[in-house]
A and B are shown apart, each in its own frame.
Chain A
Amino acid sequence: MSGIYNNCQKVVAMLENKNIRQTMNFDLAAKAKWVWKETLRIHRRAPETRIASSLSPIEIFVSLYYGGILSFDPKQPYLPDRDRCVISKGHGSISMYPILADLGFFGMDELERVCETGCFLGGIPDPVIPGYETVNGSLGHGLGVASGMALGLMRSKQPQNVFVITGDGEMHEGANWEAIMFASQYGLDNLNLVIDNNGISMLGYTEEIVSNGDLSSRLSSFGWECWEVDGHDVSAVHAALMRSKSTRIGKPKAVIAHTRKGHGVPGLENAALSHILNPKPELLDDLLREFE
């Protein structure tokens, strides 16, 4: 564990130098696997957490935080020079807990106390957690707030980037589309939307509930620059996010990551009701044992 922790301290140092190529030396796939295991461990201890929607965005989070996409200082979470990362799909970001702990936003020991009295890591993350920018989990708010941040940075002539991670079920919220039109109107090219397109909301497949259609063509028709990527191919995700970040052409940008809810857990992966299913503790133990 300490080896990983030290490696990450090195990444942070590299991020401060903004030397992206060096950070690519970091093994993102191994890191994604570690985050997957830690997320299972957290859920094994705290079954109130939403595991399936936390497993689908792991490669996105890992690329952002270990791949040199985001600039940040774990000891100064609100440093003005940081890139802003808004996790709009709150429940589905329990996998952020091990990442933030590993990077030094808070102690690793907090991971042992998720959902316990006195711990700040709850079933749905709150903005009291170091590393979280806004309120998360009440869906459909992140993109609008991120648009305001992006406009503020642009008007203040600041170069930082704003990333916002949403789910695809969350795109049902009309407020998102107000923000999508707004970001396009104001040419917010410092704004990067990443959609964890796992295709499932709480009660089933979004395609059958209220279809989002082709998100890429919808967003394109709203004036956004879009890329689609296999959300579990970490190097492809990394490349897409890097491409998005470096594209400044007067348009907001979106990366649609095609992912699988409950990724890697038999019986959970891509199951219609995966959002509310809790894998049996024995299954989690078996999976964790295999991993060791």
Chain B
Amino acid sequence: MSLKPRAMRDAFLERLYLEMKIDEKIFFISADFGSPVLDKIRADLPNRFVNVGIAEQNLINVSAGLALEGYKVFAYAIAPFITMRCFEQIRVSLALLSQVRPMNVNLIGVGAGYSYVVSGPTHQCYEDLTIMRALPSVQVMSPSDHLVAESMFNHCIDNIGPKYLRFDAQVLPVIYENGAPDLYRGFHVHREGKSLCLLATGFMLHTALEAAAELAEIGIEIGVIDLYVISNLDEVALKRVLSSYPGVVSLEEGFRARGGIDSMLFDFLGRMGLTSKMYNIGVDPGYRFELGSRAELHEQVSIGVNAVISQIRDFADSIGIHSKSGAS
């Protein structure tokens, strides 16, 4: 409505900039990656801004060293580079070391999924949730709009431990006009459905809401849940919500069946003793080089709105949930 959509990084970095002016123990490190707000940090707080250059391994290790000296560190780079170029540095100097020594390092990765639309697979990011959630001591967060992203800032400041925040590079429509949801719950129910529940993260929440609206028109009422915390969410609350659904569908802008939120939910249902059937929607595993809009690319790899609707209808049929119109 009235709230102007913003890029996640702009909203988050604006809060960071204001806090850095008050709190001298905040340090910002970039691997030669910028933003307009970052220019203000660089100009006004040069002592606590560092550009390590195109050197993500050093980005992580320097962040670890600063955190050991008591700084709250924000490290910033393009999502595939800040997770995959330096994965062992994250594993050793953050995940492992933070189990012994208190450290507050927050990795801000910009460019979730296909958000660098024309840059191709080097700059797109379909594996980061998988590999980051493999690290037990790293908290992974994946906001769906700039308000959730911004709401994660206080959490980053107040809580020690390594965290990974996966930001979209595009300006996404505002979802949480009435204020950001409860971060500690980790998920938010946007629609309640009858038989099926669709759980999505990041940009895919927008796709999920669109698909759910279209499905409702043909009589399939599905629930929609935003998963903005990928690790450490409130499992008891999520179990309560999902226990009423015979069918659960995961939707992510990451490779299907490669350890992303689908794997997390398969595990969750099994561990919680829920008997819901589950279907996972994600990027067809494989790298693609075609150019197109984000929506076109999504349709090519089976995560566009149409592809999602068709897979959900098939799944609904397969578990005996039929639409009013009888369409199949």
> Which residues on A are within 8 Å of B, measured CB to CB?
78, 126-128, 133-135, 138, 141, 143-153, 155-156, 174-175, 178-179, 181-182, 186
Contacts and interface: CB of A to CB of B under 8 A. Distances in A.
A175 B65 contact: no
Contact of A182 (B48, B62, B70): B62
Interface class of chain B by DSSP: helix
12 contacts: A127-B97, A135-B96, A141-B61, A143-B61, A147-B62, A149-B65, A149-B66, A149-B68, A151-B50, A152-B71, A156-B70, A186-B50
Contact of A149 (B47, B69, B96, B97): B69
Contacts of A156: 69-70
Interface of B: 27, 47-48, 50, 52-53, 55, 57-58, 60-71, 88-89, 92-93, 96-97, 100-101
Nearest to B64: A145
B70 A128 contact: no
A182 B58 contact: yes
B97 A148 contact: no
A147 B57 CA distance: 12
Nearest to A78: B101
B57 A144 contact: yes
Nearest to A173: B57
Given A135-B93, A145-B93, A175 B57 contact: yes
Contacts of B93: 134-135, 141, 144-145
A138 B47 CA distance: 31
Contacts of A144: 57-58, 60-62, 64-65, 89, 93
A217 B51 CA distance: 26
A229 to B, nearest CB: 26
A153 B96 CA distance: 23
Contacts of A145: 61-62, 64-65, 68, 93
Contacts of A128: 100
Contacts of B100: 126-128
A178 B63 CA distance: 14
B61 A175 contact: yes
Interface class of chain A by DSSP: helix
Contacts of B64: 134, 144-145, 148
A155 B97 contact: no
Given A128-B100, A135-B93, A178-B52, A148 B61 contact: yes
A134 B58 contact: no
Given A144-B93, A152-B69, 16 more contacts: A127-B101, A134-B68, A134-B93, A134-B97, A144-B65, A145-B65, A145-B93, A147-B61, A148-B69, A149-B65, A149-B66, A151-B65, A156-B70, A178-B55, A182-B55, A182-B58
Contact of A151 (B66, B92, B101): B66
A153 B65 CA distance: 10
B42 to A, nearest CB: 15
Contacts of A149: 65-66, 68-69
Contacts of A182: 52-53, 55, 58, 62
Contact of B65 (A152, A174, A178): A152
A155 B48 contact: yes
A68 to B, nearest CB: 24
Contact of A133 (B58, B68, B88): B68
A108 to B, nearest CB: 23
A3 B198 CA distance: 71
B58 A150 contact: no
B30 to A, nearest CB: 13
B157 to A, nearest CB: 17
Across the A-B interface, the 3 shortest Cβ-Cβ residue pairs: A148-B65, A144-B61, A152-B69
